[in-house]
Amino acid sequence: DTGVSQDPRHKITKRGQNVTFRCDPISEHNRLYWYRQTLGQGPEFLTYFQNEAQLEKSRLLSDRFSAERPKGSFSTLEIQRTEQGDSAMYLCASSPHVGELFFGEGSRLTVL
């Protein structure tokens, strides 16, 4: 399978714990995006990488959120000291050029 893959698909955690999500993009895509989606909303942009460079970060991303793409391939999104408001679907997408994004199936976070 050469699509975008995300891991884990579902994470349940207690408030205050740290969680990390991983995204493996389509291999020839140099752009990688993280979005967050809650029920009834469209995807909200979080951050964007071109190769290993993080070019943009949304104001939605508080200091508790950090994303990395150390070698320009896979990316991780870490949330520290999780809060109940962090519960959402975290979507990763990759793109060979800006515009057409290919999404993974998402990582659903539930913070108790």
Partner 1 sequence: DQQVKQNSPSLSVQEGRISILNCDYTNSMFDYFLWYKKYPAEGPTFLISISSIKDKNEDGRFTVFLNKSAKHLSLHIVPSQPGDSAVYFCAARINAGNNRKLIWGLGTSLAVNP
User: Is residue 103 within the footprint of partner 1 (CB under 8 A)?
Assistant: yes
Site for partner 1 contains 49 (CB under 8 A): no
Measured CA to CA, the distance from residue 67 to residue 21 in angstroms comes to: 9
Choices 62-70, 71-79, 80-88, 102-110; region in contact with partner 1 by CB under 8 A: 102-110
Q: Which of residues 60-99 bind partner 1 (CB under 8 A)?
A: 91, 93, 98-99
Nearer to partner 1, 6 or 82 (CB): 6
Q: Is 25 in the site for partner 1 (CB under 8 A)?
A: no
Q: Are 19 and 43 in contact (CB under 8 A)?
A: no
Rounded Cα distance between 37 and 64, Å, is 18
Beta strands in 14-112 (DSSP E): 19-24, 31-37, 44-50, 53-57, 65-68, 75-79, 88-95, 102-103, 107-111
Nearer to partner 1, 79 or 106 (CB): 106
**DSSP 3-state of 25:** coil
- Residues at the site binding partner 1, with contacts judged by CB under 8 A: 4, 6, 31, 33, 40-45, 48, 55-56, 91, 93, 98-106, 108
